Amino acid sequence: MMIEDLKHLLFARDEHASRSDYESDIINFNILHKPTENSRKLTYRHLIDLYALDNNVLLFKVLRQWWELNEDTQAILALQLAIARDPLPARFS
Amino acid sequence: MTHYLRGSAELILQPEPGEHLARETMEACLAHDDPDRFSAASLKSFSQNINGTWTQAGYLSGKAKKYQEQPKVSYVNVAYALFVSCLQAGCERYFRYLSDGRVVPSSALDTHDISKAKYTIELLNLNSPFLNNRRRKWWDELDELVQEHLDNDMDLSQLASVDLVPTRNKLSPFFSLTRQFFANQAETVLREQAPELL
């Protein structure tokens, strides 16, 4: 679930950052240290799928606001968001 | 990978801490619904990814061999889970709208779900005087319209559809209240004219 990437990304910006800020950080500034342009784009796309990275998505906005409350809980918080956005729940019910 | 995450939760949350979780068990879970969908290699790779995700979150430990762990869950996670629940499909069953404008937990809920409903009502301040006022006015308006329709022998489902069927992909304000107000009639209208909302 790319938790280390997510931690780095959110650490670099405050809670008001927009999706294009994150996009720019990953693709133009390569703050996640990806070796190729393609891998930077792929990383960005995966992170969007998992976490939205957009304050217009309420679930992400709340996650971002609560992110720094307790560092130990970040991995589960990220997992919760990823599961909530998981599109195919019925397959395994 | 993410498509199978939620399905795997059942498996992860089942066994006791310390118990070994074989990769084959996860593969079987992923293949359960449609055994021919994935090759053996894909199943192995998906299982490794999903097990990796649960490991990062603290639910599993070990590298090649995975064991169940008791994750460190805090109040932040609990609050987030409660918050998520109010955005899930079917969440309207948690709430009951009253003619005085208030929203309360539905009486059909068990104690666990009542606490979720209460939490959501408080968190989102759903009983603020402003909202209560708006809801009460809307309820009264619906009441009058229904009376008018009945007096003139007009079709109530027409009336219901005006406020239940989305216009330009948007729901009318107080959709859930309107839906509850029209009860069975609302469900019929939605089935016929906006089945995607059911």
Contacts with B4 from chain A: Cβ below 8 Å: 88, 91-92
Comparing B38 with A28, the larger pLDDT belongs to A28
Q: What is the pLDDT of residue B198?
A: 80
Report CB contact under 8 Å: A73, B2. Answer: no
Average pLDDT over residues A8-19: 96
Comparing A93 with B95, the larger pLDDT belongs to B95
Average pLDDT over residues B180-194: 93
Token output for B173: 């304000």
Q: What is the pLDDT of residue B2?
A: 46
Where residue A89 falls among pLDDT bands split at 50, 70, 90? Answer: very low
Where residue B1 falls among pLDDT bands split at 50, 70, 90? Answer: very low
pLDDT digits (tens, 9 = 90+) for A45-78: 999 999 999 999 889 999 999 999 999 999 999 9
d(CA B58, CA B72): 7
Comparing B86 with B9, the larger pLDDT belongs to B9
Q: What is the pLDDT of residue B29?
A: 86
Q: What is the pLDDT of residue A91?
A: 34
How deeply is B163 buried, as exposed, middle or buried, from its count of CB atoms within 10 A (0-12, 13-18, 19+)?
Answer: buried
Q: What is the pLDDT of residue B3?
A: 58
CB A77 within 8 A of CB B76: yes
Q: Give the predicted TM-score (pTM) of the model.
A: 0.69
Q: Which of B2, B9, B88 lies closest to A50 in CB terms? A: B2
d(CA B9, CA A89): 10
Any long-range contacts for B173-179 (C-beta under 8 Å, 24+ apart)? B173/B134, B173/B138, B174/B134, B174/B135, B174/B138, B176/B92, B176/B95, B176/B97, B177/B97, B177/B135, B177/B138, B177/B139, B178/B138, B178/B142, B179/B92
d(CA A40, CA A25): 10
ipTM at complex level? 0.82
Q: Which of A50, A62, A82 lies closest to B83 in CB terms? A: A62
The region of weakest confidence among A74-88, B14-28, B77-91 is B77-91
Percent of chain B exceeding pLDDT 90 equals 46
User: Which uninterrupted H or E stretch holds A36?
Assistant: none
Report CB contact under 8 Å: A83, B6. Answer: yes
Report CB contact under 8 Å: A78, B57. Answer: yes
Report CB contact under 8 Å: B74, A89. Answer: no
| CA B65 vs CA B1, B16, B31: distances in Å | 20, 16, 20
Where residue A88 falls among pLDDT bands split at 50, 70, 90? Answer: very low
Most confident of B36-40, B119-123, B129-133, B164-168: B129-133
Average pLDDT over residues A2-26: 96
User: Which uninterrupted H or E stretch holds B96?
Assistant: strand B95-97
d(CA B89, CA B147): 32
Token output for B36: 């021919």
Report CB contact under 8 Å: B57, A86. Answer: no
d(CA B9, CA A29): 36
Size of chain A in residues: 93
Contacts with B119 from chain A: Cβ below 8 Å: none
Report CB contact under 8 Å: A70, B74. Answer: yes
Report CB contact under 8 Å: A85, B2. Answer: yes
- Asked whether residue A92 carries a pLDDT value surpassing 60, the answer given is no
* Interface of chain A toward chain B, CB-CB under 8 angstroms: 1, 3, 49-50, 58-59, 62-63, 66, 69-70, 72-73, 75-89, 91-93
d(CA A83, CA A77): 10
Q: Which of B2, B29, B71 lies closest to A82 in CB terms? A: B2
Within 10 angstroms of residue A31's Cβ, the number of other Cβ atoms is 18
Q: What is the pLDDT of residue A7?
A: 96
B29 touches chain A (CB under 8 A): yes
CB B77 within 8 A of CB A73: yes
The secondary structure of B124-173, three-state, reads: CCCCCHHHHHHHHHHHHHHHHHHHHHHHCCCCHHHHHHHHHCCECCECCC
Where residue A21 falls among pLDDT bands split at 50, 70, 90? Answer: very high
Comparing B181 with B81, the larger pLDDT belongs to B181
Burial B124-144 (b: 16+ CB within 10 A, else e): eebeeeebbeebbebbeebee
- Asked whether residue B88 carries a pLDDT value surpassing 80, the answer given is no
Average pLDDT over residues B80-101: 84
Preferred mutation among A56, A73, A74, A88 to probe B, highest tally of B CBs within 10 A? A73
Beta sheet of B60-61, edge-to-edge order: B20-21, B66-68, B60-61
Give A4 to chain B, closest Cα distance, Å.
9
Report CB contact under 8 Å: B84, A73. Answer: no
d(CA B153, CA B7): 51
Average pLDDT over residues B76-84: 86
